Amino acid sequence: MGKGTTICCIGFTFLVLAGVAVLIAWSVDKVRTPSFSINQASISDYNLTSDNRLNATFMLVVKSHNHDPKYTIKYNSIMVAIFHDTYTLAYVTNVGPWIQHHGEDFVFTSQPVARNFTILDSAVAADLRNETNEGQLKFDVRIRTYVRFEVKGWKRKGYTLGIVCAPLVINLASGKTFEGTNCNVDRF
């Protein structure tokens, strides 16, 4: 074999070994998506007027658990919104930022507010009136945040988490307790 052939063989072998190393690292190094739940929820200053104007302050205590044994999760700004079916009733942005270490629980409070919010969809307003008369309001909570997974200064690709907590049932009677709600988390 000539000198050029030997160099080509060494170069090809190096590329194959590097490719195998990257493939092994990629297959072994999977991040685990955190889980979310709502442990407490209440509503205050609730009023739905006859002309479909909503006033309400929602109080949500959201718990996140980092299941990943290696990665710290860095959360950027977070948006929390209250929906009735597909209709947005209230939202708040810029909850956070925070850092969640591996295996750690993190609890944060969010207070989406609706002030003199006009509900244009008459079916949604009618549903809310019926639920108010029954004493139980049913909502969906949707949370969107951008996260970055890190371990010892090594940053992995960032993701957007779409979190849906449904159904969130809030009792209007003061003596009734709130039953927690687990959330579905999509990472994209």
Please give the share of the chain, as a percent, with pLDDT higher than 70: 91
Rounded average pLDDT over 23-49: 83
Residue with tokens 């200064």: 153
pLDDT at 94: 74
Residue range 41-98, pLDDT digits in tens: 999 999 999 999 999 999 999 999 999 888 899 998 899 999 998 899 999 987 778 8
Q: How far apart are CA 31 and CA 104, in angstroms?
A: 15
Bridge-partner residues for 100, per DSSP?
Answer: 73
DSSP string, 48-63: E-TTSEEEEEEEEEEE
Q: What is the pTM (predicted TM-score) of this model?
A: 0.81
126 Ramachandran zone, left/alpha/beta (phi>0; psi -120 to 50): alpha
Residues with Cβ within 8 Å of residue 85, at least 6 apart in sequence? 124, 127, 140
pLDDT at 27: 53
SS3 at position 7? helix
